[in-house]
Amino acid sequence: MSIEKTLKDTKMHYCIGCGHTTVHRLIAQLIDELDIREKTIAAAPVGCAVLLYNYMNVDVIECAHGRAPSVMTAIKRCLPDRFVLVYQGDGDLAAIGTNETVHTANRGENITVVFINNAVYGMTVGQMAPTTLPGQITTTTPKGRRIDREGYPVRVCELLATMDGPTYIERVAVNSREDIKNTKEALKKAFQCQLDGKGYSLVEILAMCPTNWRTNLKDSLKFVDKMKEYFPLGVFKDVTKLFF
């Protein structure tokens, strides 16, 4: 039984070992701790988290593939007193929704984005994503991703941190106890950034996908460590202290 009011007592559809389950719980804990459940509006993406509304006891709107940042920008502008949460995977945010991601961040919209990076398209049986690692095997790169053919993985945090609009950008992970602790702290800071009216924040979370990586849970935790070599953890932009 769930101990978080925001997390429904419902069996999740995610595969065993999926990182989404951990992130859902962290988000629910923070919404409870910050007492913002009644004012939260979340966006469910197209992807593995498409059924987010089944698990979160908050208002949730389903957005077209990649369009969540634009939809939630409109909601935040119409209802500025609400806490607006955008939840997206790597295909939704960094491929289909690249345009929305970049321009929403560049405008500095006062929303919070939670970006799950598991280096693969999860819902649609494991195709190459913008974040797939060089050499990584997927259903569309059966011999591994080739840089000369598919190009380089997209580093979202590094890209957005070059813009003037964003306020807070950090990359974290959920494959160890310490990483989970750090992820909750990063999410809390991103949530508070919006609550204080300081502008756009994004937390990228490196997460496990044992099913589409074709591995067991133990090895999937090790694969996230491998992801960290290409996607280093850390704060890429933080100008929250410039606000008074």
Three-state SS string over 170-209 comes to: EEEECCCHHHHHHHHHHHHHHHHHHHCCCCCEEEEEECCC
List the structure tokens of 55: 């698990």
What band does 4 get if pLDDT is binned at 50, 70 and 90?
A: confident
Is 70 exceeded by the pLDDT of residue 1? no
155's enclosing H/E stretch is none
Instruction: State the burial class of residue 150 (Cβ atoms within 10 Å of its Cβ: 0-12, 13-18, 19+).
Output: middle
Higher pLDDT among residues 2 and 103, named by residue: 103
Q: Is 189 left (phi over 0), alpha (psi -120 to 50) or beta?
A: alpha
Q: For the domain with range 19-242, which CATH number is right: 1.10.3720.10, 3.40.50.970, 3.40.50.300, 1.10.260.40?
A: 3.40.50.970
Is 90 exceeded by the pLDDT of residue 187? yes
What band does 90 get if pLDDT is binned at 50, 70 and 90?
A: very high
Is 90 exceeded by the pLDDT of residue 125? no
Cα 101 to the center of its chain, rounded Å:
12
From CA 175, how far away is CA 218, in angstroms rounded? 10
184-to-22, 40, 188, 190, 210 alpha-carbon distances in Å:
10, 18, 6, 10, 22
What band does 126 get if pLDDT is binned at 50, 70 and 90?
A: confident
Contact predicate 64/80, CB 8 Å: no
pLDDT, tens digit, for every residue of 144-179? 999 999 999 999 999 999 999 999 999 999 999 999
